[in-house]
Each structure stands twice: as C-alpha cells, then as structure tokens.
Amino acid sequence: EWTWSRHAGVSTVVDVVDRLVPALLCGAAFVLLAEWGRRRILRVGRRGKAGLYMLLMLVAASWIMSVQKSTPVAYRDIKPLWVLYDRSSSGYFIEAATRIDSADEFLKTYEARMEEGDVLHVGTHPPGLFLLAFGCLEICRSSESICSLVDAFHSRHEREAFRLVETETRYATALDRYDLAGLQLLSLVTSSAVVLAIVPLALLCCHLYGHATAWQCCCLWPLLPCLAIFLPKSDLLFPLTCLSVLSLMAFAMQNRKTVMLAVPAGLVLWVGLLLSLAHLPIIFLLSVFSLLRFVKFGWSTLKRDACVFGIMMFTVAAAAIVFDIVYHCNLLNVWLWNLTNH
C-alpha cells in the first residue's frame, strides 16, 4: 500500500509573497474581469465581445500559471518540462528526440511497431503526438532565433531544475540547447491550447444558449482544477480539438448555407484521431445532439444532420486515405491496433 507524505505548507512570509500573493492577485483580477464582462457582454458589438474574450484568455493564462507556481519551489520548477520528458509520464518527446530521425521513416514502420504490442505509448496511441514533438524539435533545430524566443517564455530556474534531474536520471544523452528549446516549445503549445479552447467554447455556447451563458461558461473553464494539475500533459490538447469539431458541426447543422463547415470539422476530427482515439466520443455526442434536434424539430433537421454527419465522416476517411498514400501509414490499421493493445 502506498503512503503519501504531505508537503510542508506555507511557513514564512517569503513563501506567502512568492507562492500565494501572485495567485491571489491573478484570481482577484479574474473574478473582476468575469463580473465586468458579464455586465458588458450584451451591451457591446462584435469587436467589443472579441476584445472581452481576448482579455479573458490573457487573464486566464495568468491565473493558470500562477496556480501552478503556488506549489513548493522544487516541484513547480521541474513540472513544466519534466512531465513531457519523463518516459513513464509521457514518452512522446523522448522518443522523438532519441529515436526519430525522419518523420517519413517513422510513419512507414509505425504500423509494424504497433503490432509488437508495446504497452507504453507506441503500441497504444496513434502517431500524432510523436509527430507533434518531432515537429517542435525540428522547428527549434532550424532557427537560433526561435530557440531564443522560446527561452523567453520559460524561466532559467525551470531549465536548471530540468538539467539537474536529467543528469541524475540519465534516461538518455543530455539534450542540447536546440532540443531543450523543442521541449519548452512543446510545453508552450499545450499550455496555449488550454487557453485557446475558450474560442470554440464561446462559439458553441453562444450558438446554443446566447452570449450571456457563453461568457459564464468560458469564465468557468479556466477554474477547472484538472487544468493546473495536469498541464502540460498532452491530454490537454484535446479540449481544443474536440470543442472545435463540436462548434463547427453545430454551425454546419444550422442551415443549408453552412453545411460545408462539416469539411473543416472532419479535418479537425481527423487531426484529433491522429493524436488520440479519445476523440471518438465526439461522434456519440453529435449523434445525441442530432437525435435531440429530431425530437424537437422533426424530420427536416434529421435529413440535414445526416448529410452534415456524412460529409464530416467522408472528410475523415479521405484524409486518412491521403495520409496512407503519402506516408505509407494505414491509419485504420493503426486505430484497430490501438484498440486491441489497450
């Protein structure tokens, strides 16, 4: 049986100022913005609403970051990078950094590697997260200026803490400057995706329930404890992709003029399924949504919804076929092995 020891609480004035005060200030700013926006959202035009949501995303990012920084120093400094590097926690990045030299070759052999039944990450997930990590590495390897820009978003203490644990664990050859920047970029991408999820959430809720309810839902989103706890785990990329599909499909089902929004919805869903089969429940949710529309509005919506749904699934299938032709990686087989290995 595991026993969990509690960390020491805030014991000094320095701890209060360093750990709690920034979170309290950001929390207060967030509450004030939420209330001010609630009063303004119905009075301003499109530009005003866009400005409010942009401000909300900025304050939400500050709030989530300050909550993560309120943990003990040793843990807050190592978490932003080590979570993505540690093979037992994630594994996508270290695989990309140490074993992928070419994305084309990686994809050609990926189906065969899944057949081996690796129970960690290669055998139980599609290749998208490996490709994302490899893309971040290649971007930083190609430009010194990008490395410097990425460094500016992470503190020196975080890099030093990572280097210390990296040396102690010796998982692999130490990352050079460019690969460390790639790791920082991957962490930044995940953190940004959490904040950007506010955009499709606002569009979806506004379409279904109106501006006032959409604002309230978007204000609640950054307050979910799981965001600050699990960042920068790659799972937190999925709310952005899932909400994007749902919002595009909700608009596509609206009338005949918007039916073709099912095409970008299908492309986003395909990208999501390339990352993880955790996106499959979207299909179920859309089916339930269509059924509720049928109960309320009758056969006219059911025919249109079936057409929209068919366009979305055709787009997913077409993208998968093109991907197979170009990269010689059959995603249907990959997805089947994904389910089998799980």
Check residue 337 and give its pLDDT: 83
> Higher model confidence: residue 10 or residue 284?
284
* Cβ atoms 55, 33 nearer than 8 A: yes
Query: What's the rounded mean pLDDT across residues 202-221?
Result: 94
Check residue 7 and give its pLDDT: 65
In this structure, the number of other CB atoms found within 10 A of the CB of residue 158 comes to: 19
Tally of CA atoms within 13 A in the half-sphere of 342 that contains its CB = 12
Query: What's the rounded mean pLDDT across residues 295-321?
Result: 90
Its pTM surpasses 0.75: yes
* Cβ atoms 19, 67 nearer than 8 A: no
Q: Is 298 helix (H, G, I), strand (E, B) or coil?
A: coil
DSSP per-residue letters across 261-278: GHHHHHHHHHHHHHH-GG
* Cβ atoms 127, 323 nearer than 8 A: no
* Cβ atoms 341, 119 nearer than 8 A: yes
Which of 59-73, 114-128, 156-170, 177-191 is the least confident region? Answer: 114-128
pLDDT in tens, 138-167: 999 998 899 989 988 888 888 888 888 888
pLDDT in tens, 126-142: 999 999 999 999 999 99
Please write down the HEC assignment for all residues of 68-102. HCCCCHHHHHHHHHHHHHCCCCCCHHHHHHHHCCC
Cβ-Cβ contacts under 8 Å for 120 (sequence gap 6 or more): 87, 91
Query: What's the rounded mean pLDDT across residues 100-106?
Result: 89
Check residue 159 and give its pLDDT: 86
Cβ-Cβ contacts under 8 Å for 190 (sequence gap 6 or more): 84, 231, 232, 233, 234, 236, 237
Q: Out of 6-20, 252-266, 290-304, 327-341, give the one with best mean pLDDT.
A: 252-266
Which string of b and e fits 17-38 if b means at least 16 CB within 10 Å?
eebeebbeebbeebeebbeebe
* Cβ atoms 107, 184 nearer than 8 A: no
State how far the Cα of 227 lies from the Cα of 63, in Å rounded to an integer. Answer: 11
State how far the Cα of 176 lies from the Cα of 179, in Å rounded to an integer. Answer: 5
Q: Out of 16-25, 119-128, 259-268, give the one with best mean pLDDT.
A: 259-268
Radius of gyration in angstroms for the set of CA atoms belonging to the chain, rounded to a whole number: 22
State how far the Cα of 54 lies from the Cα of 156, in Å rounded to an integer. Answer: 28
Check residue 119 and give its pLDDT: 53
